Amino acid sequence: MEKNNNNLRADITPSGNGQALSNGNGAAVGVAAQPLSWKQTIWNTWDAFADVLWFIICSIGYILQDLYYIAFGYPEKELKADIALVTGGGNGLGRQLAERLGKLGTKIIIWDINQKGIAETIQIVEAAGGYCKGYVVDISKKEEVYKAADVIRAEVGDLSA
């Protein structure tokens, strides 16, 4: 017997009423479906109605929340007590991110493989009034990352989540 989707074991095993499920869709061939009781019909109708009502209530809530944010602005997170690790902070986007976070009062930790770039970024962030430390770390090497993380925990503290 060739095995395919039409003759899997579950398909030819008799069901509870003694009929085999030969079509694989869970429908017994040759057996009429039992009509639902009036209690089951009412319950199914109520359940569907409750689901639709809950969807409408949630949708209205999210629409009102967005209208509030549009009118009054999104809440800003306080970053003064946070510590941020910026990988690749020696130039480009990493440097810009470090500068921006430094202006917001976040303590900045820079990881880069370019010592000169790290020094420039530290100078920029500190000139803007921020706190910044830099470390030469090659993040492609797991051992260096773990060593640098231990050093940061000892010198600065745990990073913010």
What does pLDDT average to over the chain?
83
Between 13 and 73, name the one with better pLDDT. Answer: 73
100 and 139 share a domain? yes
pLDDT above 70: residue 27:
no
12 and 59 share a domain? no
CATH number at residue 122: 3.40.50.720
d(CA 63, CA 65): 5
pLDDT of residue 76: 82
Condensed to tens digits (0 to 9), the pLDDT of residues 86-97 reads 999 988 999 999
d(CA 132, CA 106): 9
| Parent domain of 69 | 35-75
Condensed to tens digits (0 to 9), the pLDDT of residues 98-127 reads 999 998 888 999 999 999 999 999 999 999
Domain-located, residue 9: yes
Tokens of 132: 């910044």
d(CA 26, CA 16): 12
d(CA 1, CA 9): 12
H/E segment holding residue 86:
strand 83-87
pTM of the model: 0.54
Distance of CA 77 to the CA centre of its chain: 18
